[in-house]
Amino acid sequence: MKIKVLIADDIKETRDIIKKILLLEDEFEIVGEACDGEETLRLIPKLKPDVVLMDINMPVLNGLEATERITKLYPNVIVIIMSVQGESEYLKKAMFYGAKEYIIKPFNYESLIETIKVTYERYKDILSKLNVEEEIRDGKIVTFFSSKGGVGKTVLAVNSAVEFSKTKKTILIDMDLMFGDVSLMVDGANHKTILDTIDDEQLDSYNSLKPYIFGYKENLDILFAPKKPESAEYIGKDSVEKIFKIIKRHYDLIIVDTGINFNDTTLYVLDNSDYILLISTMDIISLKNTKLGLSVMKSLGYDNKKVKIVINRFNTDYGINKGDVEDVFKENIFASIPDDEKTVLPSINNGKPFMDNNKLIKSKLAKAIETLCKTLEV
Ligand SMILES: Nc1ncnc2c1ncn2[C@@H]1O[C@H](COP(=O)(O)OP(=O)(O)O)[C@@H](O)[C@H]1O
Ligand SMILES: [Mg+2]
């Protein structure tokens, strides 16, 4: 097996020289090049290098900070610092941040080859034993919440998750722990649920969580709520926290459906959400409760960047119009989703989200979901 090397240097000539030298030896494979620290960080999960040759002075993110982040995020990657004479302070820092070795520029053929080979040989066994998980992401959390039931949280969460999964690695988590309906909407009623994860004492990594996750389609996984309401009490905040921490590292986006109460598991999720979509329908009771919900959110310290009001089943036939709704919420209404039973009901009854149905995707409702997902900057 070849030693996979990623070259990080802002000067193209330097990269070219290093490439030329390394390619003279059979043992090396150049997996990529980066011109700054940030690009290096971006490339590592894709290219999976064994060794990063890291220049210190680079724009955007310099080699020192990049080294610190790499050794934290990808401890099995060996960073070798390239530095010029007289940068000994920097060198010390680089080693402190976790670089394994350094080499002084300008270097000759032998010293470069030797340094990489020797360092790689010295660390490869130790590092390969590290239990490093394959992917490290930092998923955003988008939670669908309402202070009244039956307003369409689950319908919107499921269909938005399908839409987001077209561009992002997405997981949908059903946190309506008593009356979770997600499994019905995606025809997954027989699959394992979050309750099974709690029974598993080994839950310490993504691999241990995987058997309980339902693969709905490419890029969209789902973790279902328990099948029976009484199971909810077994799922405490600590377990939820553990699960979310693991999941955040493995997905770009975490869509959460919730129940209607502010219990401690829901609060954990709300606290940790990047966005909360507060769903209301156009009736007096829902509007009143949404207004109350909004003031609870305010008292929790969430601003209106985080909490977005979404009016579902938008329909002015029943005595409340757009102006009335806007009067209730001085805050901007983030999105309005049309009332459209012809699209929603068949999709629920067939256990297939309308965003996944060739005919129904042409509906105004589907377009509104598409716009909602686009407008939300995740
Ligand atoms: N945009 C919509 N148009 C028509 N009906 C809808 C719409 N959104 C939801 N519904 C209906 O409302 C019902 C409740 O939706 P659901 O997502 O289960 O609400 P929640 O999760 O908030 O309790 C669903 O059975 C569905 O038929
Ligand atoms: Mg629901």
CA of 340 to the centre of ligand 2 (A): 17
C-beta of 211 in contact with ligand 1 (< 6 A): no
How many CA atoms, within 13 angstroms, populate the side-chain half-sphere of residue 325?
A: 26
Cα–Cα distance measured from residue 205 to residue 135, given in angstroms and rounded to the nearest whole number: 12
Reading the block at residue 40, the tokens are 């290096």
Q: Atom 15, ligand 1: which residue's CA is nearest?
A: 152
Query: Which one of 3.30.540.10, 3.40.50.300, 3.40.50.10260, 3.40.462.40 gives the CATH number of domain 140-375?
Result: 3.40.50.300
Query: What are the structural domain ranges in the chain?
Result: 3-129, 140-375
335 to each of 48, 284, 314, how far by Cα in Å?
41, 18, 10
CA of 66 to the centre of ligand 2 (A): 43
Q: What is the pLDDT of residue 177?
A: 97
> What is this structure's pTM?
0.72
Our mutation pick for probing the ligand 1 site, out of 173, 344, 345, 369, counting the most ligand atoms within 8 A of Cβ, is 344
- Structure letter (DSSP) for residue 135: -
pLDDT per position in the chain (378 positions), as tens? 899 999 999 999 999 999 999 999 999 999 999 999 999 999 998 899 999 999 998 888 889 899 999 998 888 899 999 988 777 888 888 999 999 999 998 888 899 999 999 999 999 888 877 766 556 788 999 999 999 999 999 999 999 999 999 999 999 999 999 999 999 999 999 999 999 998 887 788 888 899 999 999 999 999 999 999 999 999 999 999 999 999 999 999 999 999 998 899 999 999 999 999 999 999 999 999 999 999 999 999 999 999 999 999 999 999 999 899 998 898 679 999 999 999 999 999 999 999 999 999 999 999 999 999 999 989
3-129 homologous superfamily: Response regulator (3.40.50.2300)
**Which ligand 1 atom is the nearest neighbour of the CA of 155?**
17
- Structure letter (DSSP) for residue 51: E
Cα–Cα distance measured from residue 158 to residue 166, given in angstroms and rounded to the nearest whole number: 13
Which ligand is nearest the CA of 182, by number? Answer: 2
341 to each of 155, 182, 218, 367, how far by Cα in Å?
11, 18, 28, 15
Cα–Cα distance measured from residue 250 to residue 129, given in angstroms and rounded to the nearest whole number: 21
CA of 373 to the centre of ligand 1 (A): 18
Read off the pLDDT of residues 112-131 as tens digits, 9 standing for 90 and up: 999 999 999 999 888 877 76
First to last CA, the chain: 39
C-beta of 151 in contact with ligand 1 (< 6 A): yes
Reading the block at residue 172, the tokens are 């949908």
C-beta of 150 in contact with ligand 1 (< 6 A): yes
Helix (H) or strand (E) holding 279: strand 275-280
Dihedral angle, C-alpha 31, 35, 41, 46, nearest 10 °? -30
CA of 144 to the centre of ligand 1 (A): 13
Angle, vertex CA 173, rays to CA 365 and CA 178, nearest 5: 100
C-beta of 312 in contact with ligand 1 (< 6 A): yes
Same CATH topology for 3-129 and 140-375: the answer is: yes
Q: What is the pLDDT of residue 351?
A: 97
CA of 166 to the centre of ligand 1 (A): 23
Q: What is the pLDDT of residue 88?
A: 82
Cα–Cα distance measured from residue 253 to residue 125, given in angstroms and rounded to the nearest whole number: 34
Cα–Cα distance measured from residue 242 to residue 173, given in angstroms and rounded to the nearest whole number: 14
C-beta of 155 in contact with ligand 1 (< 6 A): yes
C-beta of 243 in contact with ligand 1 (< 6 A): no
